[in-house]
Amino acid sequence: MFPEYAEGLMDIEGFSHIILIYHFHLSRKPSLKVKPFMDDKAHGVFAMRGPSRPNPIGISVVRLVKVEGNVLHVQDVDIVDGTPVLDIKPYVPEFDIRPVEKTGWLEKNVHKLPASKDDGRFTKSQEPPRLFPKTS
């Protein structure tokens, strides 16, 4: 994290997980119907978690391993290296976990997750202000 934001990390090490809110800076022009890489049928963009969105904002829950000054060490990151992080929030199960009855079209595809990788749908676009310096 840039040093000018480091003071905002106070007490974050008390959380095992954090939520990263970030900008899909490499996503393509948005489309309201998209064929996700885990399915062969198009779905509405708001029924999927892909990067090509009208507002290219993503969220990820990651494990916070340790904090050293203004450096956060995390695991289970599912975002591209160098992605601009817009905000960080603590993950609190009492707020963030909800019972789920259905998972839509993903129900028949969720078994593919362990072996799924990015299918190359990223391109360069304009970047917003950053909290963290680029790592690549």
CATH number of domain containing 96:
2.40.30.70
pTM here is 0.78
Name the most confidently modeled range: 15-19, 48-52, 121-125, 130-134: 15-19
| 85 in any annotated domain | yes
> For 46-75, what is the mean pLDDT?
93
Do residues 78 and 51 lie in contact, with contact meaning Cβ atoms separated by under 8 Å? no
Q: Which two tokens stand for residue 8?
A: 């905002």
Model pLDDT, residue 94: 95
Contact residues for 113 (Cβ-Cβ < 8 A; gap 6+): 38
Q: How confident is the model at residue 61 (pLDDT cuts 50, 70, 90)?
A: very high
| 107 in any annotated domain | yes
| 128 in any annotated domain | no
- For 75, the domain range is 3-115
| 96 in any annotated domain | yes
| 39 in any annotated domain | yes
Q: How confident is the model at residue 6 (pLDDT cuts 50, 70, 90)?
A: very high
> What distance in Å separates the CA atoms of residue 95 and residue 100, rounded to the nearest whole number?
14
| 54 in any annotated domain | yes
Amino acid at site 111: H
Q: Is the pLDDT of residue 67 over 60?
A: yes
| 63 in any annotated domain | yes
| 125 in any annotated domain | no
Positive or negative CA dihedral for 61, 62, 66, 71? negative
If one compares 84 and 37, the residue with the highest pLDDT of the two is 84
Q: How many independent structural domains does the chain possess?
A: 1
Phi then psi for 7, rounded to 5 degrees? -60, -30
Model pLDDT, residue 91: 98
